[in-house]
Amino acid sequence: MTLMLRSSTSFIHLNDTKIIKAPLLEDLHGIISFKQAKPPSCLRIRSSLQEIKMERGSNKMEKLHSLSLNQHTNDLRVPVFVMLPLDTVSLGGSLNKPRTTNASLMALKSAGVEGVMVDAWWGLVEKDGPMKYNWEGYAELVQMVQRHGLKLQVVMSFHQCGGNVGDSCSIPLPPWVLEEISKNPDLVYTDKSGRRNPEYISLGCDSLPVLKGRTPIQVYADYMRSFRDRFRDYFGEVIMEVQVGAGPCGELRYPSYPESNGTWRFPGIGEFQCYDKYMRASLEAAAEAIGKRDWGSSGGPNDSGQYNQFPEDSGFFKRTGTWNSEYGKFFLEWYSGELLQHGDRVISAAKGIFHGTGAKLSAKVAGIHWHYGTRSHAAELTAGYYNTRHRDGYLPIAKMLAKHGVVLNFTCMEMKDGQQPGYANCSPEGLVTQVKMATRDAKAELAGENALERYDIAAYEQILATSRSESGNGLAAFTYLRMNKDLFEPQNWRNLVEFVKRMSEGGRNWRLPKSDCCGSDLRVGFIKEKKIEKVVVV
């Protein structure tokens, strides 16, 4: 069986020739052949864009976000990255499916992609014990990315993989950390029913030596320092960005809407996560400081409903609810303020470690667009974003990140209001516009991601539209979720390649041709198991 993917863009110089043994997709061994001749029975990628050389070890690498803030202009190039699979590095610490990864990187390079993103899982790297780090699988990946002339975004993933949207594998926190949690369950976020969430260490104990003599912030800092020292020679040339995980899914938020075990389902309002003893102690102290001791005695609102309810089902979030009372404002300011301080602590540690390396720092904020059309914005409030009809909850976050020179990475860039169910009161477009304005006002850089796996032109059109800066910031970079077998399906691949081209032109309008009659071909062929695979550039 032979696949040839059609595209309107190629960045392969047809005079370069090299052979690499590699499969393309998992569980299938493949041949990628770049040829001008039209092979039989295939799906093809063609190009009419100018060709550029793919040089191994080229020194002509641009630094990510090297341009000034992408504001008030529509003609700046927006580099596109592609997220690698969550299990790119195996549980054993080695590179998973290296031949597949190698061939896939070659294909992405041919499409004009700037680079790739990978999660550096805490649960993999430090699983053998405190400060016992294994970076070997990531070292193999970094070298492979360098060989293909690509760039790399690395996520410091201090959270568990599994139990959330898009999680395709399970990677828990390090065993020695889980051992400490079993001894002291209050180390993790807890809801009002006493349900513990092992996705991420509670911010309530950020400054307490609860992890075998180290504080969580110290543990994160030691991990990032180890990463910096191991890959010192690759910063600024290959490793262009470090995204600092600050909560579940790597996002600066509380785990208010966990999908594991059916706890939450869209579009539930979620629940506050402030009932571990450390968070309760903080709330009690805040209440006592203003002479309202009883406001801190219960640990949180007693009328805030349950995970899968709607705002009007609860006394706290309904139109005229407690959220807008004196108590509600006190609680929400404390709850969101604790999250903001946590982000500031983690980012400050990262800034001190990566300063001068040539890598940009970023932090991810979740795109919680359901119930955005209500007054209380309940789903955002339970996640820690104090954003309501009367208050901008994203400007303080943008200002905190701007203070450190950190890029705000925001998701749901591909969504349109009209695609959402009416009963959920969604407005992803309104939310994205608000974040664009907040980053502009805070003078922070903005980067984007798509929230769901989308391959259709409508999604790409929406990303192109939001990447421009007519209202608020334009995008400094975009990371596409995610590389998998579906991405390499003929029409999906063709759409991606055209999207990358449009983004390279500054987010100009979509004009995918119905057909083209000239250019180069990307031929993807599959042969039987255990045969030798070749990638030939002719």
Q: Which residues are catalytic?
A: 251, 449
357: left (phi over 0), alpha (psi -120 to 50) or beta: alpha
Q: For residue 267, is the peptide bond before it cis, meaning its omega torsion is within 30 degrees of 0?
A: yes
Sign of CA dihedral 468, 469, 472, 477: positive
**Residue 369 in marked binding region:** yes
Do 520 and 532 form a contact (C-beta atoms < 8 A)? no
Do 483 and 116 form a contact (C-beta atoms < 8 A)? yes
Q: Cα 78 to chain center, whole Å?
A: 17
CA distances from 19 to 34, 39, 265, 488 (A): 11, 18, 48, 21
**Residue 70 in marked binding region:** no
Sign of CA dihedral 502, 82, 496, 167: negative
Do 45 and 110 form a contact (C-beta atoms < 8 A)? yes
**Residue 482 in marked binding region:** yes
CA distances from 335 to 275, 287, 305, 414 (A): 11, 12, 17, 29
**Residue 119 in marked binding region:** yes
Q: Which residues contact 44 (CB under 8 A, 6 or more apart)?
A: 4, 5, 6, 38, 521, 522, 523
DSSP 251: B
CA distances from 423 to 257, 269, 320 (A): 18, 13, 19
H/E stretch holding 365: strand 360-365
DSSP 257: S
| Residue 15: φ, ψ to 5° | -90, -15
Q: For residue 420, give the nearest of 432, 435, 437 by alpha carbon.
A: 432
Q: For residue 363, give the nearest of 333, 323, 319, 407 by alpha carbon.
A: 407
Do 500 and 111 form a contact (C-beta atoms < 8 A)? yes
**Residue 450 in marked binding region:** yes
**Residue 164 in marked binding region:** no
**Residue 495 in marked binding region:** no
**Residue 222 in marked binding region:** no
Token pair 């002509």 in the structure block, residue: 60
Token pair 């979509």 in the structure block, residue: 510
The neighbour count for residue 20, using CB atoms within 10 Å, is 16
The neighbour count for residue 490, using CB atoms within 10 Å, is 17
* Number of residues that this document lists for the chain: 538
200: left (phi over 0), alpha (psi -120 to 50) or beta: beta
Cite the annotated binding site for substrate by residue number.
119, 159, 167, 364, 369, 411, 450-451, 482
Cite the annotated binding site by residue number.
119, 159, 167, 364, 369, 411, 450-451, 482
